[in-house]
Structure 1
Amino acid sequence: MAKHTGINNCHKTYIRGKNRRGNWLAVILLRVSRRDFGLCLSTLLLFCLGSVLWQLNGGPPQLLLHVRYYFGKSTFLDDHGPLASRALPFPSQVVYNRVGKCGSRTIVLLLRILAERNQFTLISSDIHNKTRLSKHEQMNLMVNISSVPQPFLYTRHVHFLNFTRFHIDEPVYINIIRDPISRFLSNYFFRRFGDWRGEENHVVRTPGMKDDERYLDINTCILEGHPECSNPRLFYIIPYFCGQHPQCREPGLWALQKAKENVMEHYLLVGVLEELEDVLLLLERLVPHFFSDVLNIYRSPDYRKLGNMTGTVHKQTPSLEALQVLSQRMDYEYEFYRFVKAQFHITKRKFGLRTKPQPQRQSASLHHREEQEEPGETVLENWEV
């Protein structure tokens, strides 16, 4: 009997021990399950967060790369190749097909400073006298432009190029124009006497020009109808916006209308030189990754020293009679100029910029204002009644 009792006691002790072990095992399993569940949730959260950061930044988060390198002793590049390129700012391709004697040298000087400061590629062509291209030349130029590392800004004296015609991604266009007569006079005297960069600059630019042509009075040139002061030489600004079509070179309504259409469809901004600071301010707001801080640079004393060398020398104002004749010959140019100026003012109003009243002074019905085209250069503007 005592033996049987001892056996029962041993059995009960065994059962209690087994139950205690089972309880401890259950507790351990429960704890492990909670820990694993929390680890899974943390991993999932980290994965989701990493995916979001990846998509926003155009590549894997730096934290994940560090973690992978720490645990796996390898990098993302080792297993998956090069990282996806980060998203480029928009627009990342800009073309400035600068119009001659419309402040282009001022802008190019600024762009050289901005390219280094804002880290974009600037390609400034040295070709100045080939604005009209054959179909083959257009294709080659557009392919070469498109191969420039982005973001880039390409600038050249060239008539508008239609990239979509050749099924090439089109860049964003910008440009600046000025009062047509002011542009003509600046070009007339620049060809003869150059600017402040050097006393012999004009001889280098036009070495074949004879003295009787170089010193030809501007009034005589206009009133006697010399080729330089009559059509088609005066039809100059519109072709830069009309394009490469042969009809763009002929003064007429077709070229004028095509130029207007291209301004509306292909140009981010076309400014007027007479309001250059507002042009720079709008460019800074529209394409900040190219023109950030441009207005401060333009106003700086260091830049002024450079800009003072680009002013055309020995400029003269023609007589009222000559101006009236010249204006009649440039009727299409003035209609386009007024169109661009109106669109520019609309853009200014959208950004909350006001157009300041332009002071005028009257003398024998000749309204004009002296202003700087490029620092140091006098400009005739708003001469008409």
Structure 2
Amino acid sequence: MKSLGSSCSSRAAAETPEASRERRAGRGALWSAWPRCAPRDLAFCMAALLLFCLGSLFIQLNGGPPKVLLELRNYLGESTYLDDHGPPAPKVLPFPSQVIYNRVGKCGSRTVVLLLRILAERHQFNLVSSDIHNKTRLTKHEQVELMRNISTIPQPFLYTRHVHFLNFTRFRIEQPVYINIIRDPINRFLSNYFFRRFGDWRGEQNHLIRTPRMKDDERYLDINVCILENYPECSNPRLFYIVPYFCGQHPQCREPGVWALERAKQNVLENFLLVGILEELEDVLLLLERLLPHYFSDVLTIYKSPAFWKVGNLTGTVKKSMPTLEALQVLYRRMKYEYEFYNFVRDQFHLVKKKIGLKSLLPISSHEPSFLRELTLHTPDPLEEEEEEVEEVEDDAKNWLVQP
């Protein structure tokens, strides 16, 4: 067996001079790449690494960094989320995150919008309230443009405007959730009639700004004359007002009839999360708070607060009066489809209330419009000798409704 020394000497003897130079050059390059430091510097680096490890262990065992380090970090500046963790996690949106309130005129919408302005700031959702009040019917091009604009609002959002129902799915756009509030049709008509002429409590002259071209003979036209003498403002199709908001943009939706009525009912069932009635507004707000908590949480508390009522009371119509019983009868017959729809919505609203355990404080007969109760409330206190005559009028007011 050859010894290790003899083996190495024989290998060195066999190596050529050129190969020996290349091997020495490779070793020199490797040694030059290796970092050179003094033993003192190496000891300092090892001590710093040990101190860092011990400090990290101490912080983990004591539940977090000391206050002095946090203050130092704040002084030097916080790094962004992207710097530390990469792209941010997607924002968790409430469901639904797209809501439309296509508010019906003179159905408490200004009160609700005032509430929404407070809620939007409190709950951090985007409230877009359109200033367009006289453009409820749109062309096909206008529908597409509006729906696309609505769809680009950052979510969660609530969009509100006086506009008839828009069918987003018809144009292959995601359909938002709808909400709305309606009221007794005759009460809505009366409120609108006097509001156009005399405004509300926000200012004595605001009605003149709203209807500057209205002449005095029209402004002070007795409502009974308007109804009984069949003025355009008090006859069909002007009285067919609520149903088109739920029927949609189809031209036939503006024609009083069964087709528009049934289509409006179908849309209520399929596209509206809730349609409430103004006569039970507190229950409407309570249901909205339960169904859409991200938008309406605490709405009832705000609504009942004295600070809100200082503003909310200014939206009431002034100089409003009740027509005669004869005029009310004529209106009721002309608004046949409006009342069929109102009764349908009221029944659906009461059904939702029943499902969550809410009871109606004032049960209403489906055959008695609410304006009859208001007629009794607005009747002046009679003198003693006229008491019997007044009771007779009230009986007549209830009897005519049961006639075919």
Deviation readout 1:143-186 (Å, 9 max, x if unpaired):
11111111100000000000000111111100000000000000
Q: How far apart, in 1, do the equivalents of 2:364 and 2:376 lie? A: 10
Cross-structure match for 1:112: 117
Structure-2 separation of matches of 1:104 and 1:370 = 24
Shift of 1:359: 8.8
1:249-299 Cα deviation digits (max 9, x unpaired): 000100000000000000000000000000000000000000000001000
| 2:359 partner SS | coil
Match of 1:143 among 144, 148, 152: 148
Where does residue 293 of structure 1 map in the other structure?
298
| C-alpha spacing 1:89/1:323, structure 2 compared with 1 (3 Å) | same
Equivalent in 164, 171, 179 of residue 166 of structure 1: 171
Change (3 A) 1:254 1:285: same
**What is residue 259 of structure 1 aligned with on the other side?**
264
3-state SS, counterpart of residue 369 of structure 1: helix
RMSD over aligned CA atoms reads: 2.2
Would you say the 8 A contact 1:359–1:369 is kept in 2? no
**Match of 1:352, SS?**
coil
Partner SS for 2:372: strand
> What is the CA–CA distance in structure 2 between the aligned matches of 1:277 and 1:371, rounded to whole Å?
23
Q: Alignment partner of 1:153: what SS? A: strand
Distance 1:345 1:76 in 2: 49
* TM-score under structure 1 length normalisation: 0.75
Aligned residue runs from structure 1 range 73-222, under 5 A: 77-78=82-83, 81-222=86-227
Q: 2: CA distance between counterparts of 1:359 and 1:335?
A: 15
Secondary structure of the structure 2 residue equivalent to 1:368: helix
Quick one: which of 328, 333, 336 aligns to 1:328? 333
Question: Could you tell me which residue of structure 1 aligns to residue 63 of structure 2?
Answer: none
Residue type at the aligned position of 2:222:
D
Deviation string 1:207-266 (CA, Å, 9 cap, x unpaired) is: 000000000000000000000000000000000000000000000100000000000000
Secondary structure at the aligned position of 1:133 is classed as coil
Maintained 8 Å contact 2:177/2:272: yes
Equivalent residues of 2:322, 2:375 under 8 A apart: no
What amino acid is aligned across from residue 321 of structure 1 in structure 2? Answer: E
Would you say how many aligned residue pairs link Structure 1 and Structure 2? 300
Q: Determine the structure 1 residue equivalent to 2:24.
A: none
Q: TM-score, structure 2 length as denominator? A: 0.71
Does residue 242 (structure 1) correspond to residue 247 (structure 2)? The answer is yes
Give deviations 1:360-385, integer Å, cap 9, x for gaps.
Answer: 9xxxxx8313899xxxxxxxxxx764
Alignment map for 1:235-384 (pairs within 5 Å):
235-357=240-362, 367-369=372-374
CA distance in 2, matches of 1:267, 1:246: 21
Does structure 1 retain, via aligned residues, the 8 Å contact 2:136–2:162? yes
Q: Which residues of structure 1 form unaligned runs of 5+? A: 1-73, 361-365, 373-382
User: For the structure 1 residues 121 and 370, does the alpha-carbon distance in structure 2 shift closer, same or farther, using more than 3 Å as the test?
Assistant: farther
- Asked if the contact 1:99/1:176 (under 8 Å) is kept, the reply is yes
Distance (whole Å) between structure 2 residues aligned to residue 348 and residue 359 of structure 1: 14
Q: Does the 8 A contact of 1:274 with 1:371 survive in 2?
A: no
- Give me the whole-angstrom Cα distance separating, in 2, the residues matched to 1:235 and 1:77: 57
Once the 2 structures are TM-superposed, how far is the Cα of residue 78 of structure 1 from its aligned partner? Answer: 4.0
The answer to whether the Cα contact below 8 Å between 2:289 and 2:297 also exists between their aligned partners in 1 is yes
Higher Cα radius of gyration: 2
Unmatched segments (≥5 aa) in structure 2: 1-78, 366-370, 378-396
2:254/2:260 contact within 8 Å kept: yes
Query: Structure 1: how far apart are the matches of 2:253 and 2:283?
Result: 29
Letter in 2 for 1:230: S
Percent of paired sites with the same residue: 74
Q: Distance in 1 between matches of 2:122 and 2:85?
A: 34
